[in-house]
Amino acid sequence: MNPAVSPFSILLLGFLLGLKHATDADHVVAVTTIVSKQRKLRHAAMVGVTWGIGHTLMIIVVGIAIIIFHLSIPEKLQLTFEFIVAIVLVVLGLLNITGMMKHLINRFSNLHSHMHHHGRMHVHVHDHESGLHEKPKAHEAVTEFLSSHGIMQLVRPFIVGIIHGLAGSAAVALLVLGSITDERIAIIYLGIFGIGTIIGMMLITTLLGIPVISGSKKFARFDHIVTVVAGFLSIMYGLYFGYQIGVVEGLFAR
């Protein structure tokens, strides 16, 4: 690391790059297909946080491997990961448009735990379709989210975040590692970058959730329209991104 550059400056750069990294087009498109299902801003924010955690986890794993073991990622492998991201965008879009994602979420959300007050507090499990479901009142954010949507709505952004973390778009974090000679600072840098990405994605999903939630309260079927539009955009961008990686960047020719 250049002696003239302080560790604080490096870490601040990591945080700012993390915030900017969250705004990458493929990231925004991916979370939009998920946020279109949310009805509360805190739930939309949680989607962004979960995506960011999965993304950060993978970047830290890859980054530490590069720092400690001095590994390098072959360009073809990097392009392959990016092409997988394109496939994921298309799949997410198709699931939204066909309604299959709603079916999967409902299937995995049918049985879950609730806190009820029947003279005393206790936990029991029941089926949504039983008609005995009560709206949660004092749950913490995660418990409320799981009660409303089921575990699939957290697993999905987490997995998508991991896949994006493998893609070459995360190279903006890894490239800076080459200028950091202190391994401790380099690892902290990755963590700060990840925190910036998590916060950035939380802000993005919250902002995306505002018009979706507001429109759903005012217009019937608005949420369905948003879901279909988000799915269509995801498919179109996924195809475009896949073309760029496969043809323009030359993955298919390698």
Q: What is the DSSP string of 43-91?
A: HHHHHHHHHHHHHHHHHHHHHHHHHHH-----HHHHHHHHHHHHHHHHH
In tens, the pLDDT along 45-103 reads 888 999 999 999 988 888 888 788 877 778 888 889 899 999 999 999 998 888 776 66
Q: What is the DSSP string of 5-53?
A: S-HHHHHHHHHHHHHHHTT-HHHHHHHHHHHTT--SHHHHHHHHHHHHH
Output the pLDDT for position 178. 64
Tell me the whole-structure pTM to 2 decimals.
Answer: 0.77
Output the pLDDT for position 245. 93
Rounded Cα distance between 178 and 79, Å, is 20
Paired with 121 in beta bridges are 117
Query: How is residue 137 annotated by DSSP?
Result: S
> Nearest CA to 226 among 90, 24, 33?
33
Tokens of 241: 């991104």
Output the pLDDT for position 88. 93
Question: Does 1 score more than 60 pLDDT?
Answer: no
> For residue 145, what are the CA distances in angstroms to 78, 186, 200?
34, 35, 20
> Nearest CA to 160 among 21, 14, 45, 29?
29
In tens, the pLDDT along 123-157 reads 444 444 444 444 444 345 556 555 555 566 678 88
For residue 157, the tally of other CB atoms under 10 A from its CB is: 26
In tens, the pLDDT along 206-223 reads 998 888 888 877 877 787
**Residue 51 backbone class (left: φ over 0; alpha: ψ -120 to 50; beta: rest):** alpha
In tens, the pLDDT along 155-212 reads 888 999 998 888 755 555 566 666 777 888 888 888 899 999 999 999 999 998 888 8
